[in-house]
Amino acid sequence: RRTSVSAESMTPSQQGFVKKFVSKTPEQIEGIKKSVGNNFLFKALDEEHAQDVVNAMVEMCVGNGSAIIEQGGVGDFFYVVQTGTFDCFIGQNKVASYTAGGSFGELALMYNAPRAATVVATLDSTLWALDRVTFRTILMENTSRKRKMYESFLEEVALLKSLEDYERHKIADALESVYFNDGEHIVLQGDVGDQFYIIEFGTACVYKQNENGEQQEVNQLERGGYFGALLNDSPRAATVVARGRLKCATLGKKAFTRLLGSVHEILKRNSENYHAIINQQ
């Protein structure tokens, strides 16, 4: 059965969840794919679920200055930015801003809570809006699983001590788990790369080359330990090798910066921590 509501129709799925379908031009579909392609919340979706999301999204044009979400309001949609810019305020304080590919408005939908912040367009902008039911049915499971999985773990990581809970959630969204076998090299001294790793379980050995060109073990890292530069773009300062089976959560520096802004600024909130990390680099 397909009931047509102007361009919208609903198709019941097996779970009883009624899939939403809003017809779109090929250009619009292209626009969505571009916008969500860079967004971590959509990464783990299989093809069918990704299609369900595309089908359900509704395009919105918003004028410069208009408040798309009001703090304290009821959560109805989750938003992904296609074009333009947005600022996010808690009370009078600006706490975040968004550009193309950014997303906001997930919290009220995930926790059935009032909107935690106000989000205002700072240019004439376009958004893709995803309704609450589709968000909860398709996107939320993976998002809350990852946030839960990494929540307590990330609290233990010294580097991230100065983050707000919500910022740790954003990191959790972007983390990917990678496994290494005993003896596997994860980063090589002198290589260029900006992937950052946090140890979930296992041991990693850190080696540096001495004047005679020999590898010398300089450190061993365990759960909560981290390696891979976040602060500078210089080549890898050491080689890191798995000792036994090792599981890491990994994130690129670009992703970190895109999610949370300058790493330096965040680390500076906790200056003791900052100096410890700077000296380690």
Q: Is 81 in the site for ligand 1OR (CB under 6 A)?
A: no
Which residue's CB is nearer to ligand 1OR, number 169 or number 236?
169
**Which of the ranges 33-41, 101-109, 148-156, 216-224 carries the binding residues for ligand 1OR, by CB under 6 A?**
101-109
Which residue's CB is nearer to ligand 1OR, number 151 or number 164?
164
Q: Is 90 in the site for ligand 1OR (CB under 6 A)?
A: yes
Amino acid, single-letter form, for residue 235: P
Q: Is 95 in the site for ligand 1OR (CB under 6 A)?
A: yes
Which residue's CB is nearer to ligand 1OR, number 173 or number 200?
173
Q: Is 248 in the site for ligand 1OR (CB under 6 A)?
A: no
Which has the closest alpha carbon to 89: 68, 118, 116? Answer: 118
Q: How far is the CB of 17 from ligand 1OR (least distance, A)?
A: 21
Which residue's CB is nearer to ligand 1OR, number 123 or number 218?
123
Q: Is 166 in the site for ligand 1OR (CB under 6 A)?
A: yes
**Which of the ranges 22-30, 162-170, 207-215, 251-259 carries the binding residues for ligand 1OR, by CB under 6 A?**
162-170
Q: How far is the CB of 33 from ligand 1OR (least distance, A)?
A: 22
- What 3-state DSSP class applies to 190? coil
Which residue's CB is nearer to ligand 1OR, number 68 or number 240?
68
Footprint on this chain of ligand 1OR (rule: CB under 6 A): 69, 75, 88, 90, 95-96, 104-108, 115-117, 119, 164, 166-167
